[in-house]
């Protein structure tokens, strides 16, 4: 019992002579965004390499109905276009599309084969000056494998 009383007295003595520091929590202004996006020399980058100010995104949706040769089909496509400026002259762009054919007289197997998620475009643009640019692009349209008006002329058209 004497040990417990001595320990309590010792704790009271040390706590009375120690100084506490008051920290104003209201002026801190921390929130979720400031914890994810640091505002240091990297320009507000995420994990030191991704700057959200250089990222842009837009969405589009298209719905089509086609008839040809006694057949018909409907087609819906949702596209998410994302662009990121890596540096001042270098930009990376990608289009990811979700395609669905809810109605088709071409058969259920055709609808199942065309439904899905596609990388319809990926592009790397380098524009160091207004008169010089290098663009590397990948395009994939899932409908071209079913209908190509230039098929008889070869893969490069005329």
Asked if the structure places residue 32 within a domain, the reply is no
Which tops the pLDDT comparison, 59 or 157? Answer: 59
95-106 tens-digit pLDDT: 999 998 888 888
Q: pLDDT band at residue 151, thresholds of 50, 70 and 90?
A: very low
Asked if the structure places residue 11 within a domain, the reply is no
Contact 149, 157 (CB under 8 A): no
Residues 6+ apart with CB under 8 A from 98: 77, 78, 79, 116, 117, 118
Asked if the structure places residue 144 within a domain, the reply is yes
DSSP 8-state code for residue 44? S
Asked if the structure places residue 92 within a domain, the reply is yes
Question: 20-24, 112-116, 153-157 — which one is most confidently predicted on average?
Answer: 112-116
- Look at residues 78, 95, 94 and name the one whose alpha carbon lies nearest to residue 86: 94
Asked if the structure places residue 19 within a domain, the reply is no
Domain total for the chain?
1
Asked if the structure places residue 137 within a domain, the reply is yes
Range of the domain at 91: 48-158
**Tokens, residue 2:** 């004497």
pLDDT of residue 92: 93
**Tokens, residue 90:** 């270098």
Asked if the structure places residue 91 within a domain, the reply is yes
* pLDDT above 60: residue 39: no
pLDDT of residue 7: 79
92-139 tens-digit pLDDT: 999 999 998 888 888 888 788 888 899 999 999 998 888 999 999 998
Asked if the structure places residue 40 within a domain, the reply is no
Residues 6+ apart with CB under 8 A from 49: 42
Q: Which residues, in sequence order, are bridge partners of residue 63?
A: 76
Question: Other CB atoms closer than 10 Å to residue 120's CB: what's the count?
Answer: 18
Q: pLDDT band at residue 86, thresholds of 50, 70 and 90?
A: confident
* pLDDT above 70: residue 43: no
């Amino acid at each position: 019992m004497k040990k417990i009383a001595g320990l309590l007295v010792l704790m009271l003595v040390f706590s009375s002579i120690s100084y506490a520091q008051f920290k104003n929590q209201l002026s801190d202004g921390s929130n979720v965004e400031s914890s994810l996006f640091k505002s240091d020399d990297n320009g507000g980058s995420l994990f030191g390499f991704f700057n959200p100010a250089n990222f842009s995104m837009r969405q589009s949706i298209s719905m089509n109905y086609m008839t040809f040769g006694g057949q018909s089909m409907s087609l819906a496509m949702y596209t998410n276009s994302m662009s990121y400026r890596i540096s001042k002259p270098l930009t990376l762009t990608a289009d990811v599309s979700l395609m669905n054919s809810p109605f088709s007289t071409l058969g259920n197997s055709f609808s199942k084969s065309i439904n899905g998620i596609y990388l319809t475009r990926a592009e790397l643009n380098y524009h160091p000056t207004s008169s010089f640019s290098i663009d590397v692009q990948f395009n994939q349209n899932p409908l071209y494998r079913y209908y190509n008006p230039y098929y008889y002329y070869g893969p490069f058209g005329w």
